[in-house]
Amino acid sequence: MTEIFQRPDGRAADQLRPVRFERNYTRYAEGSVLVTFGETRVLCNASVEEKVPPFMKGEGRGWVTAEYAMLPRATHTRSPREAARGRLGGRTMEIQRLIGRSLRAVMDLERLGERTIQIDCDVIQADGGTRTASITGAYVALVDALRKLQREGLLLDDPLRDSVSAVSVGIVEGTPLLDLCYDEDFRAEVDMNFVITGSGRFVEVQGTAESEPFTTEQLARLQRLALAGCARLDLAQKEALGDLL
């Protein structure tokens, strides 16, 4: 590759930041994972609730949903709390809907039975990619919560149909990059997020031209970066879960 743009932390264009999963980070949640993508840290807690939303009652199917928030000082300058402002912002709603859809896409909700897995993603520190880190960590917390149900005999079949992870890609000064940190994201001409299954298929594709519309060739290049990135995240998830021999 003949990249022009030098990444602030010296990474190659197709290199992920260091990724880490700390399982059982808090003691009460059925699944609790602190996920780290470089300087981005998100606490992902999975709570099992033995009920479903009203509109699903009696259908025998379960539900997976997510909420997302940033601590006020997760960022360079403090942002006001949404609780204090009395309403969720549009960005927050977009992200939490995305996390929920991504996890449901790899679940067999009938096998889950009439219960809800509620995922809370709270960003402790933000350096870009909080939504992709959230999805990637939430998957690990979800698996831990499901295994706990299985150990307790409350769940017989495995409701997981696949694994799932997410990564951001973007174009900065003409260079396609994998897993953007905040400074890169801030300067990106194009910003995309991919949610991809362990089997390499797409769950979500979201791309935005921040300043310059992009071509079919650029889209193809970003897609390849994302597929490779998620393949490595999938491996890291399996390793954290002890599923690699």
| Residue 177 or 222 having the CB closest to its own copies | 222
Count CA atoms closer than 13 A to 138's CA, side-chain side: 33
In the complex, least distance from residue 222 CB atom to its own copies, rounded to whole angstroms: 10
- Dihedral sign computed on CA atoms, order 235, 237, 243, 245: positive
Task: Rule CB under 8 A: say whether 162 interacts with its own copies.
Answer: yes
**Burial of residue 88 (number of CB atoms within 10 Å: 0-12, 13-18, 19+):** middle
> Is residue 22 at the binding interface for its own copies, with CB under 8 A as the rule?
no
28 part of the interface to its own copies, by CB under 8 A: yes
Q: Is 165 in the site for its own copies (CB under 8 A)?
A: no
Q: Is 107 exposed, middle or buried (0-12, 13-18, 19+ CB in 10 A)?
A: buried
Residues 180-239 that bind its own copies (CB under 8 A): 192, 196-197, 199, 201-209, 213-216, 219, 223, 227
Which listed range, 8-16, 56-64, 89-97, 170-178, lies at the site for its own copies (CB under 8 A)? 89-97
Output 44 or 155, the one with its CB closest to its own copies.
44
Beta 63-70 vs 202-209: how paired, if at all?
unpaired
> Is 124 within 8 Å of 69 (Cβ atoms)?
no
Instruction: Name 117's bridge partners.
Output: 48, 64
- Residue 57 Ramachandran class (φ > 0 left, ψ -120 to 50 alpha, else beta): beta
Which positions from 120 to 139 touch its own copies by CB under 8 A, shown as an x/- string?
x-x-xx--------------
Least separation in angstroms between residue 245's CB and its own copies is 26
Q: Does 5 bind its own copies (CB under 8 A)?
A: no
By CB under 8 A, residue 101 contacts its own copies: yes
Note whether 30 and 118 are within 8 A (CB).
Answer: no
Strand partners, 122: 43, 69
CA atoms of 192 and 37, how far apart (whole Å): 17
Single out the residue of 88, 228, 231, 241 in contact with its own copies (rule: CB under 8 A).
Answer: 88
Q: Report the interface residues with its own copies, using CB under 8 A.
A: 26-29, 32, 39, 41, 43, 45, 47, 49, 67, 69, 71-78, 81-84, 86-90, 92-94, 96-97, 101, 105-106, 118, 120, 122, 124-125, 162, 192, 196-197, 199, 201-209, 213-216, 219, 223, 227
